Amino acid sequence: MDKQNVYILGIESSCDDTAAAVLCNGRILSNVVATQKIHEQYGGVVPELASRAHQQNIVPVIDQALKQAGIQKEDLSAIAFTRGPGLMGSLLVGTSFAKSLALALDIPLIDVNHMQAHILAHFIEEDGYDVPEFPFLAMTISGGHTQIVKVTDHFEMEVIGETIDDAVGEAYDKSAKILGMPYPGGPLIDKHAQKGNPKAFPFTKPRVQGLNFSFSGLKTAILYFVQKQTKENPDFIKENLEDICASIQYTIINILIDKLKKASKETGIKSIAIGGGVSANSGIRKALKEGEYKYGWKTFVPKFEYTTDNAGMIAIVGYLKYLKKDFTDMDIIAKARIKF
């Protein structure tokens, strides 16, 4: 094996996906994710079941990542793992495994902040994808997160806005549940929305100070609206599904774009990078493109497999920290809540 190559194994287990990836000098060699199907029947992630599934999945997932990368564990230069934020029981599985493996192989251990990783996923070298230049604004939107972050360097980040209640993906999933759709309903709302009239049913946008977000009021408004309409017409959802979805999507995208516009204006930064599962949404992608000619933005959307929870993003942070020799001690512990 070429000694100049740096091979990083990334391990991610913060929520309900067990993931492992191998990165060589900034390029992904393998990116394996085992999604836990068990939670679907509960309509959301059950923490105790998640940690048990991580324990079952972690060895085969890492094994597969190494095999796909075509390397042996002895070739690894360092192990990077998600320390937090996330579900404690889930984080513990990845953290303990990473520590033991690093110890056994006698190589450096690198702790990674999951939220920083969502942002630094843009630095994975990938053909056809540009890397944002500093400074830029990063908006992380998923089932667990909604944040706007000012990024001035790889490890100089400031959260300038975040949700005060539900995450945007949660708003999608909860709205979908009200409409009788399975979990996670975000992609389904997006699908129906594309055929409906976004202005059919106006929902009020929440008024939240500064660059923060709130989505719980919208969910309640949708619930009351649907309950009222179905009382009058039991087939209301079926007859209006596309328009309801389009109206929900229109409101949510407006909330996100309004805050991005405000953030861009206040900071003077026009480079905008998004991440998280909701960045797959057709509405947000279209709105960002519009922002390019309306407001002179330059926008960045990473390859889909690096937007949802994955270990490739953990490995790239591991690599960036490896270059700085920013290693961690063996007595490190997982942390459910951490700031940048």
Binding region for Zn ion (CB under 5 A): 309
Which are the contacts of 215, defined by CB distance < 8 A and separation ≥ 6?
Answer: 146, 163, 165, 166, 167, 168, 170, 171, 206, 252, 255
CB of 227 to ligand KG4, least distance (A): 22
Please name the residue ranges forming H helices in 12-155.
47-69, 88-105, 114-120
Q: Is 276 in the site for ligand KG4 (CB under 6 A)?
A: yes
CB of 168 to Zn ion, least distance (A): 12
Beta bridge partners of 275: 140
CA–CA separation, 293 vs 288, rounded Å?
9
Q: Which span sits near ligand KG4 by CB under 6 A: 61-69, 216-224, 277-285, 315-323?
A: 277-285
| Choice between 77 and 113, CB closer to Zn ion | 113
Q: Is 132 in the site for ligand KG4 (CB under 6 A)?
A: no
CB of 172 to ligand KG4, least distance (A): 4
Which single residue is written with the structure tokens 């990078």? 273
Residue among 10, 169, 196, 198 that touches ligand KG4 (CB under 6 A): 169
Residue among 308, 311, 319, 320 that touches ligand KG4 (CB under 6 A): 308
- Note the Cα 254 to chain centre separation in Å: 20
Q: Is 187 in the site for ligand KG4 (CB under 6 A)?
A: yes
Sign of CA dihedral 16, 20, 23, 28: negative
Q: Is 86 in the site for ligand KG4 (CB under 6 A)?
A: no
Q: Is 184 in the site for ligand KG4 (CB under 6 A)?
A: yes
Q: Is 277 in the site for ligand KG4 (CB under 6 A)?
A: yes
Helices 236-267/216-232 angle, 10° precision:
160
- Angle at 174 (CA atoms; ends 172, 178), nearest 5 degrees: 115
Which single residue is written with the structure tokens 């109206």? 247
Residue among 144, 161, 291, 312 that touches ligand KG4 (CB under 6 A): 144
Residue among 186, 196, 198, 291 that touches ligand KG4 (CB under 6 A): 186
Taking alpha carbons only, the member of 87, 157, 65 closest to residue 117 is 157
Token pair listed for 254: 């407006």
CB 169, CB 176: distance < 8 Å: no
How many binding residues for ligand KG4 (CB under 6 A)?
18
Binding to ligand KG4 (CB under 6 A) within 190-229 occurs at: 190
Please compute Rg for the chain using Cα positions: 21
Preceding peptide of 85 cis, ω within 30°: yes
- 86's contact among ligand KG4, Zn ion, none, with CB below 5 to 8 A by partner kind, is none
Q: Is 12 in the site for ligand KG4 (CB under 6 A)?
A: no
Q: Is 172 in the site for ligand KG4 (CB under 6 A)?
A: yes
Q: Is 175 in the site for ligand KG4 (CB under 6 A)?
A: no
CA–CA separation, 328 vs 99, rounded Å?
10
| Choice between 66 and 245, CB closer to ligand KG4 | 245
Q: Is 318 in the site for ligand KG4 (CB under 6 A)?
A: no
User: Where do contacts with ligand KG4 occur on this chain (CB under 6 A)?
Assistant: 15, 142-144, 169, 172-173, 184, 186-187, 190, 276-278, 280-281, 308-309
